[in-house]
A and B are shown apart, each in its own frame.
Chain A
């Protein structure tokens, strides 16, 4: 084991005297755990971030995505992604102006009017969807269904292909609506 070793409670040792000498040691690093192999990391390193890091090879279009959606998603989200009791709406841009979701519940929050990053779609579908068989879609199928959802929301052209290069460049309508937490305790309620 490597690392810095020092007797922790030196003051206590002096105070308590020889009879109560503390045996406890504090070690900066205990050398616990084993090195992770590159294969282990590759198998679980599935997250995708807004820069596109983590997106795999593959591509898909909305036309292909329509078939994937019908077969895997429509049962819970509705044929047009309009939402059903089982799962939320994915499609909807109303209202085209403003961001009134705090004011009222008049508008349903969707990918089109609320999600700030398109890369989140790939990350989330890949890790969690379809809800009853997560992990069952191929990268091409995920790219295709992402393209279909974005096209249905009129964010990309119905003929555009989505892949690891184009997805991070998609600008979402709600991108600039998100602000850091400004609550810090104290008398003023925010």
Chain B
């Protein structure tokens, strides 16, 4: 006997393979559930889809990253789609220099050697046997914001401006536990971290950071790392530029002096207007961006709008985010949503009514060291137009006469 339920289940299974094709019927079902559609009839209440092994997003929500490049690639996170502070794992930004290796954990070994008492190979299972810890922190590419600084355009979105930052919960082993296992010899002051990707990406890390809050993580948001995030194990250096958070970590070598790798000399250094270049500039400066309203949103006159965004600092907690709706002439303090965590994205909000006059929306974050975001002019004066990383100046949105929100191009 064919029941109504078996028909529906069959239909739902088909929906899984051809979601687009079933959208009209879903929309129809949805329409029957609005109050304005009047009394409901049994025919308007088809049974829903069955349970599933892995849940999918609503077909009405289509957040996506913007992958650029094939082998050396970047994929920007859609900041304007997010609520709260945790970046969904499949939407966390990506940056890699020689493609994403797929590593079988059975073949994985982390070699720790150099100025150590006991050169050691750790399997993934070995690392999981050590005491674990879990924390939330942001990861941000050192070059995040470069397009907005170098070639600002009205059409830039939060994703294209600052989508190379994301925020996740990470689980792994404190690096101090591993260093205790191998025994660090006197004279070791740095640590070379090397990835197992085709590029064998390498960076020199000061031992102070390794002994402070560095982690070897194997899980993100409660599940094993995804390959693009460094599966099976990556280095996590909270608050420091993304590049040093070496993915697919295969080797740690305790050394006396930095190796002067390509990514700490030719790249990831900050040329300054005074004829020098800042080197080993690891910490990500205090920063914020309004993610709503933002391009391409169009506001309606006299409508209340919740201005919302994220703020973060590599030096600790955000203590204040100020919001201006008049281009910086006046500022008010926004609400910071709890919990505000150290070296993590914090969410700020402020209710505001657009009267119909042109307006310019700015956010300005301050961290617990007292550091505040500079204006674009201050940033340009100190860092120079040719500088290459750590773009943390105040970002702005202009609300035009017709309500269209565009990125503020001029300082």
Contact = CB atoms under 8 A, between A and B. Distances in A.
Given A32-B130, A115-B266, A189-B382, A102 B277 contact: yes
B384 A102 contact: yes
A185 B319 CA distance: 13
A116 B257 CA distance: 15
Contacts of B327: none
Given A183-B283, A189-B378, A36 B386 contact: no
A178 B277 contact: yes
Interface stretch (A47-55, A141-149, A151-159): A47-55
Interface in A122-139: 123-124, 127-128, 131-132, 134
B262 A128 contact: yes
Contacts of B111: 36, 40-41, 44
B71 A30 contact: no
A29 to B, nearest CB: 6
A103 interface: yes
B388 to A, nearest CB: 8
A117 to B, nearest CB: 5
Q: Considering residues B200, B202, B383, which has the most beta carbons from chain A within 10 angstroms of its beta carbon?
A: B200
Nearest to B251: A44
A120 B71 contact: no
A45 B113 contact: yes
A128 B275 contact: no
A186 interface: yes
Contact of B371 (A98, A100, A186): A186
Contacts of B182: 33
A118 B251 CA distance: 23
B266 A109 contact: yes
Interface residues of A, number: 57
Given A103-B385, A103-B386, A44 B371 contact: no
Interface in A8-34: 28-34
Interface stretch (B9-17, B34-42, B114-122, B291-299): B114-122
A114 interface: yes
A181 B71 CA distance: 31
Contacts of A106: 386
Interface in B311-361: 315-316
A120 B263 CA distance: 10
Contact of A120 (B265, B315, B382): B265
A104 B202 contact: no
Contact of A99 (B119, B257, B271): B271
Interface string A167-190: 000000010011111111111011
Contact of B126 (A33, A35, A103, A124): A33
B71 A132 contact: yes
Interface residues of B, number: 72
Q: Considering residues A116, A174, A178, A189, which has the most beta carbons from chain B within 10 angstroms of its beta carbon?
A: A189
B401 interface: no
Contacts of A134: 98, 198-200
B306 interface: no
A124 B253 CA distance: 17
B265 A103 contact: no
Given A50-B260, A120-B260, A120-B261, A33 B181 contact: yes
Interface in B234-269: 250-251, 253, 255, 257-262, 265-266, 269
Nearest to B285: A183
B371 A47 contact: no
B369 interface: yes
A106 to B, nearest CB: 8
Contacts of B258: 49
A136 B97 CA distance: 18
Given A30-B129, A32-B122, A117 B260 contact: yes
Interface of B: 71-72, 97-98, 111-113, 118-123, 126-127, 129-130, 150, 180-182, 192, 194, 198-202, 250-251, 253, 255, 257-262, 265-266, 269-283, 285, 315-316, 367, 369-372, 374, 378-379, 382-387
Given A45-B253, A49-B255, 13 more contacts: A30-B130, A33-B120, A35-B119, A36-B119, A40-B111, A98-B275, A104-B386, A124-B266, A128-B200, A134-B98, A178-B278, A181-B278, A185-B283
